[in-house]
Structure 1
Amino acid sequence: MIDAGASKVLMTARDTVIRAYMGGAILSLGAVFAVIVGVQTGQPLIGALLFPVGFAMLYLLGYDLLAGVFVLAPLAWLDKRPGVTGLGVLRNWGLVFLGNFLGAITVAVMMAIVFTYGFAADPNQIGEAIGHIGESRTHGYAEYGAAGMLTLFVRGVLCNWMVSTGIVGAMMATDVPGKVIAMWMPVMLFFAMAFEHSVVNMFLFPSGLLLGVDFTVLDYLISNEIPTVLGNMVGGLVFTGLALYFAHRHTSGAPVLAREAELETR
């Protein structure tokens, strides 16, 4: 994890944005797929079961999500890797955010064209469903004021706790089936429980705006995206990155070394 974080921080701006752009786009397509399946079957749980397809695809292709760099990049700085600075970590986060957002917006425009026959008709059933998600997740939180924002933040924390667990699980596995299974379980959990993922929302809310749903860009940013990003950062970094770092960074080899020392004395 530390090595991966260092490589991401030291990557060129061009490569970082390209990887993040493709990551945001593929995850958005996975979200569309999940909504389509949920609407067609009338069973949102089936959509949640299938949503991790997009996540697995982007991970195996080596693309990046904001959820992942929130976890990995700071560990390289904390471990004092050469060339990794606090500003470098923030630069990486900013570039990945930009790339994810551009990729998600691209898919939002494409799918809005699909849902409306090039904006020549009203949104179809899938388009309406996606639009209503954005509406309920802005006005729905805002009507509760500070309590709504706290709820949104906590959902963001829980989301990236699960997503980042999937990322680490994939790093542990040594073959493609193992990586997919390790990612699938926690990612399915977050989607089924309607936690808030900043990159998924980069697709859902612009889609709603393009499809004419009743909320504004300011509603989206203040009543969803900003609290979600902060929650995702805390959830991934604190509950996955730092927890694993302090649990294993200086102790991972200790049991093995102790056992070897014991055997040498016999």
Structure 2
Amino acid sequence: MSREEDYVEEQEEHEEIKNGKKIDRPGRQFYIPSQIVDEFGEKGRDHLNKPFRAQFLLALTAGSFMTFGAVFSILLAVGVETKGLYHLLSGLGFAAGYSMVFISGAVLFTEVNVLLPSYLFNKQGLMSRNIYKFWLSSYVGNILGAFMVAVLIYMSGSLSSTFNTELSMYLDHKMKFLDHGWKGWFQILISGVLANWLIGMAAFLTTAARDITGKILGTMLPVILFVAGNFQHSAANMGYFSMGFLVSDQYTWYEYILLNLLPASIGNLIGGGILVSLLFSYAYKEDIQTTLGRTNGSKKK
């Protein structure tokens, strides 16, 4: 059953007969958790079934939005002294990038960590598809997309030296774990778990909403929280690091990729795949009326 048919059915369930007259009662304005997990699985399947060129182009697009979000988060917070307001504005800025990703259907590595496991946990033949190519292409596409937009922004000369100064502060905040050696590497990994747990919940709330306003608000709240907490989200860091690589010599590509993005990405896989996808798939197993595992009809593998 499609989401639209499901919605119509729910509306009909709210119609009551009283004294021979039909009374319409408003239906829910959001999906319940089991429906959300089912929707995750369908989105994961749809992404996986796209031609490779479409997957890669959508990954490039998602990475591009990450750089726009990173730039906007810095621009909104420039010159703000009050910490609470600073974090709020920075989070709102980055929420713009995630909203564009979620609503456009772009392929973001950290969202795939939630959608694709939801599909795999609820279908037969868990490893019947070559999912690794898709996962890798989304990651590489995100990095390339983020860097390409950073290059365009840099070439445009639109940003002032004030932006570069603020960006340097952001980079120091993101890379502070370097001072802790191997302990810092594992701290980034744990921080990555927390980051994609929150972004997974942003996807959860966004999917729950049935209108554009609800989707944007659902995206904003977890994003503001992860930005304020300086949790290491690989896709977000791709945006910051792409700009940082072009305008600053504070850190090398080796430090950005191997000492931050790598542990953050591992943590993101755990946070999205286990703490969101697996957790809710198992908790609502009996309620999920998915057809993802069937081979007949329009839901064919």
CA contact (8 A) 1:153 1:228 kept: yes
The 3-state SS of whatever aligns with 1:28 is helix
Scaled by the length of structure 2, the TM-score of the pair is: 0.75
Distance 2:241 2:94 in 1: 18
The 3-state SS of whatever aligns with 2:106 is coil
Cα separation, partners in 2 of 1:223 and 1:249, compared to 1, 3 Å:
same
Distance 1:176 1:116 in 2: 30
Question: Equivalent residue for 1:260?
Answer: none
The 3-state SS of whatever aligns with 1:51 is helix
Give the structure with the larger helix fraction.
Answer: 1
1:97 aligns with 2:97: no
Structure 1 residue 61 displacement after superposition = 1.4
Question: Equivalent residue for 1:248?
Answer: 284
Letter in 1 for 2:120: W
After superposing the two structures, state which structure 1 stretch, 230-239 or 3-12, moved more.
3-12
1:151 aligns with 2:194: no
Structure having the higher Rg: 2
Letter in 2 for 1:63: A
1:74 aligns with 2:117: yes
Structure 1 residue 252 displacement after superposition = 4.6
| Per-residue deviation, residues 164-218 of structure 1 (Å, max 9, x unmatched) | 1111111121111111121111111111111111112112223222113222111
Distance 1:246 1:61 in 2: 28
1:113 aligns with 2:147: no
The 3-state SS of whatever aligns with 2:130 is helix
Distance 1:10 1:38 in 2: 40
Cα separation, partners in 2 of 1:74 and 1:86, compared to 1, 3 Å:
farther
Structure 1 residue 158 displacement after superposition = 0.7
After superposing the two structures, state which structure 1 stretch, 234-243 or 128-137, moved more.
128-137
Question: Equivalent residue for 2:168?
Answer: 131
Structure 1 segment 34-73 matched on structure 2, within 5 A? 34-42=73-81, 43-45=85-87, 46-73=89-116
Structure 1 residue 40 displacement after superposition = 3.6
Question: Equivalent residue for 1:25?
Answer: 64
Q: Which runs of 4+ in 1 moved over 4 A?
A: 114-117
Distance 2:93 2:158 in 1: 25
Question: Equivalent residue for 1:120?
Answer: none
Gaps of 5+ in 1: 118-122, 254-266
Question: Equivalent residue for 2:262?
Answer: 226
Question: Alignment RMSD, CA only?
Answer: 2.1
Cα separation, partners in 2 of 1:212 and 1:76, compared to 1, 3 Å:
same
Distance 2:203 2:158 in 1: 35
Cα separation, partners in 2 of 1:109 and 1:131, compared to 1, 3 Å:
farther
| Per-residue deviation, residues 133-158 of structure 1 (Å, max 9, x unmatched) | 334433x2122112211211111111
Identical residues among aligned pairs (%): 26
CA contact (8 A) 1:131 1:207 kept: no
1:168 aligns with 2:211: no
After superposing the two structures, state which structure 1 stretch, 123-132 or 3-12, moved more.
123-132
Q: How many residues align?
A: 246
CA contact (8 A) 2:206 2:218 kept: yes
Distance 2:100 2:143 in 1: 18
| Per-residue deviation, residues 31-83 of structure 1 (Å, max 9, x unmatched) | 1011111114345222223321221122111112111101111222232257x
Question: Equivalent residue for 2:7?
Answer: none
| Per-residue deviation, residues 109-164 of structure 1 (Å, max 9, x unmatched) | 123334588xxxxx7111232234334433x2122112211211111111110011
Distance 1:208 1:151 in 2: 22
Gaps of 5+ in 2: 1-39, 290-301
Structure 1 residue 23 displacement after superposition = 1.1
1:141 aligns with 2:183: no
CA contact (8 A) 2:90 2:224 kept: no
